[in-house]
Structure 1
Amino acid sequence: MARPAEGRQPAAPMSSSQIARRVRILRAASELGAREGLASVQMHDVAKEAGVAIATLYRYFPSKPYLFMAVLEWHIEQYLGGHESGQGKGHGEGQGNGRDDLAPADVGTDAAAEVAELLITLSVKLLDSPLLASAVALSSFTEYATAVPARIDIVDSALGQAILSLLGADEASETDRSRARLLIYGWWGLFVAMLTEEISTEEAETNMRLAARLLLTP
């Protein structure tokens, strides 16, 4: 969902210490964003909170919008149980859907309902912190307005892979990938509409279930 700022590509952490440093930055930005909102968070405050040099912060996150889009992706990964800092049973941010993992849909399972429930619960989890939810939403608009080299296909993100897993698509076809892509974009639109109170939570849930049913029912 995020794109790097123009002229500056983010560094990829390689060692375990670099990965831990990146996680500290994401956690610090998340906590500051939840308390203060996007406009009030300054990059030097994030660096100070994370205990890193400002140059290190910019090395991994070239801009504040890029940083908060990474925060969104990190929270999604934690929710899905796929991020190193959020792994393990009983971790609060990985238990929103009431399952210890996301296994492929069994025969007879209603995959459309499973996917809809995953996305609905993810929205509720993210909206538990309204200021942080606003920060990541505003950052997404800023990043796409200043877009440069494209990132990976969103279907290859943790959320996209979780959806494909629920569909039992071990070897996803292009149609499977298109369905997952449309579901993620539809979910994001409904998430923003909930955040801005354009629609109620109940309306968003109904629409998400309808979208999953239309896209996934043979």
Structure 2
Amino acid sequence: MGDGVARTAEPRQPAAPVSLTQQARRVAILRAAGELGAREGLAGVQMLDVAKEAGVAIATLYRYFPSKTHLFTAVLEWHIEMFLAGHPDRTGARLRPAAAVTEVAETLVALTAKLLQSPQLASAVALSSFTEYASAVPSRYDIAGTCLGRTVLRLLGIGEPRDEDHSTVRLLIYSWWGLFVAAQTEELSTRQVEADLRLATRLILAPYTDRDPRSR
């Protein structure tokens, strides 16, 4: 017998695209959502409009993104991945530790500027991330394992990260995210955010400036 306590259904996990066709559909959805979000903001975007814009069935959209929160969180990740893919890759340059830390800071500054080019979309992805944390969406990932986290580790020359390395990268990305939100809400000026980002990166990654680059 049941205990008489109502239980909420577990949120459905998004489907992962497998074939090239499925991957192309997912990208089309992300692109459409990004364009609509940039024009309408989060509240103005309807899932049906995203499906029509992307040229997919509404059922296909919901299979990959069970909610608008899932969708715009994925839009943020996709935009970060696209930015990093087009950003000069100096990970093979064996940068000196201090130069590597500076490169990380400048990458975060440039990423922030890129995301802020579309204020409506920046607001949409920020609000979605807040909602995701508040509702405990089960698809949360280890932030140090994201494309951005892996890029930071590569720039620092860390091929086999330790738990401490993951924690440091996680702390840095959360600091970046807080400053991104402060810029998006105009709590801080863009100039102040850039200065704070460089300072935060320098302080958080200070232990890495003392490492012998030959040991990385």
Place the TM-score, normalised by the shorter chain, in its bin. Answer: 0.7 to 0.9
Which residue is 1:77 aligned to?
Answer: 81
Query: Which has the higher Rg, Structure 1 or Structure 2?
Result: 2
Which residue is 2:20 aligned to?
Answer: 16
* 1:73-97 per-position Cα deviation (integer Å, ceiling 9, x unaligned): 000000111xxxxxxxxxxxx24xx
2:80 and 2:148 in contact (8 A); partners too? yes
When the two chains are superposed, the root-mean-square deviation of aligned CA atoms in Å is 1.5
Counterpart residue identity of residue 123, structure 2: S
| Pairing partner for 1:55 from 49, 55, 59 | 59
Distance in 2, Cα, partners of 1:215 & 1:6 = 37
Distance in 1, Cα, partners of 2:93 & 2:162 = 16
Which residue is 1:67 aligned to?
Answer: 71
Residue 183 of structure 1: how far off its partner (Å): 0.7
Structure-to-structure mapping, 1:4-153, within 5 angstroms: 6-81=10-85, 94-95=86-87, 99=88, 101-104=89-92, 106-108=94-96, 110-149=99-138, 151-153=140-142
Which region of structure 1 is more displaced relative to structure 2, 30-39 or 106-115?
Answer: 106-115
Consecutive unaligned residues in structure 2, runs of 5 or more:
1-8, 208-216
Report which of the two has the higher share of helix: 2
Q: Extract structure 1 runs of 4+ deviating beyond 3 A.
A: none
* 1:73-130 per-position Cα deviation (integer Å, ceiling 9, x unaligned): 000000111xxxxxxxxxxxx24xxx2x241562425222111111110000000011
Counterpart residue identity of residue 209, structure 1: R
Residue 144 of structure 1: how far off its partner (Å): 1.1
Relative to structure 1, the CA distance from residue 102 to residue 157 in structure 2 (aligned partners, 3 Å threshold; closer, same or farther) is: farther
Consecutive unaligned residues in structure 1, runs of 5 or more:
82-93
TM-score, normalising length: structure 1 = 0.87
Residue 152 of structure 1: how far off its partner (Å): 2.5
Distance in 1, Cα, partners of 2:139 & 2:23 = 23
1:33 and 1:135 in contact (8 A); partners too? yes
1:28 and 1:49 in contact (8 A); partners too? yes
| Pairing partner for 1:158 from 133, 141, 147 | 147
TM-score, normalising length: structure 2 = 0.88
